[in-house]
Homo-oligomer: A and B are copies of this chain.
Amino acid sequence: VSGALEIQSLAGMPEVGQGDDIASLIAAAAREPVREGDVVVVSQKIVSKAEGRIRDLASVRPGAEALETAARTGKDPRLVELVLGEAASVVRAEPGVIIVRTHSGLVCANAGIDTSNVPGAESVTLLPEDPDASARRIRAGLRTASGQAPAVVVADSFGRPWRLGQTDVAIGCAGLVSLDDWRGRADRGGRELAATAIAIADEAAAAADLARDKTSGLPVVVISGLERFVTRGDGPGAAVLRRPESEDLFG
């Protein structure tokens, strides 16, 4: 059932700018074509850049709500204005912390807006508007470029309640069984595996993060050995990993 996994970052990716075709850049950088059963994990940062999801804080004018929330949290009112623009609802706003649920359903600090590794003194990246669609586009592009359609994951680093440190999670994916649902299946002793559904896409994002570091500029990582989770169709993406607000007993 399970064999070895190999995880390798892709050297030679250039800086990505607005309008760049990430699939073509990956195909050009890969020494050998990425294979059908591979999982290509792409960092959110370059997807956002390619999609033009960059803002310059210098050109943002905070409104009344942003000014109020900025005062309460101690954050830059211009950043808060952008965060609120991305937010369907504010989960938490306290000194030093703003956690929101984004329009695409992700719960994360600062709406996932990031200031590091963006050119320009006050430039920031927003998350892709629809990260599952981003993953599907990259997958389609890889299919066009190479004839192969590996699974694609768009990954970003999220903090977690109760645990320190961030881990990479899948904010988007295509062609991957993102949630491997064992509920109803039996364990080796025949007892039901009561509540086990494994977030494969999140584990793949986390695994890929181990093959780069935060300053290395290695935004693309290829995982081999997960063929059993790679699907012909794009599937429902990482959307299935977002716990519906109504069910959020765990939070």
* Chain A residues engaging chain B, CB cutoff 8 angstroms: 1-9, 92, 94, 96-97, 99, 107, 109, 115-119, 121, 157, 159-169, 178-180, 182, 185-189, 191-200, 202-204, 206-207, 209-218, 223, 225-226, 240-243, 248-251
Contacts and interface: CB of A to CB of B under 8 A. Distances in A.
Contact of A241 (B163, B204, B217): B163
A225 B221 CA distance: 14
B193 A116 contact: yes
Contacts of A213: 1-2
A142 to B, nearest CB: 21
Nearest to A119: B189
28 contacts: A1-B216, A2-B9, A2-B211, A2-B218, A3-B211, A4-B7, A5-B207, A7-B207, A92-B249, A97-B250, A115-B191, A116-B191, A116-B196, A119-B189, A157-B198, A160-B250, A161-B243, A162-B250, A162-B251, A166-B195, A167-B203, A186-B215, A187-B214, A198-B214, A200-B210, A202-B206, A203-B206, A207-B210
A219 to B, nearest CB: 12
A134 B157 CA distance: 29
A96 B249 CA distance: 9
Given A4-B211, A157-B196, A210-B223, 16 more contacts: A5-B7, A7-B7, A107-B161, A117-B189, A118-B189, A161-B161, A164-B197, A164-B199, A187-B215, A193-B214, A193-B215, A196-B214, A200-B210, A206-B206, A210-B226, A211-B225
Contacts of A164: 179, 197, 199, 240-243
Nearest to A210: B203
Contacts of A118: 189
A218 B2 CA distance: 9
A81 to B, nearest CB: 18
A211 B4 CA distance: 7
B168 A203 contact: yes
Nearest to A200: B210
A145 B202 CA distance: 35
A227 to B, nearest CB: 12
Contacts of A4: 6-8, 211
Contacts of A180: 165
Nearest to A107: B162
B251 A251 contact: yes
Contacts of A225: 7, 210-211
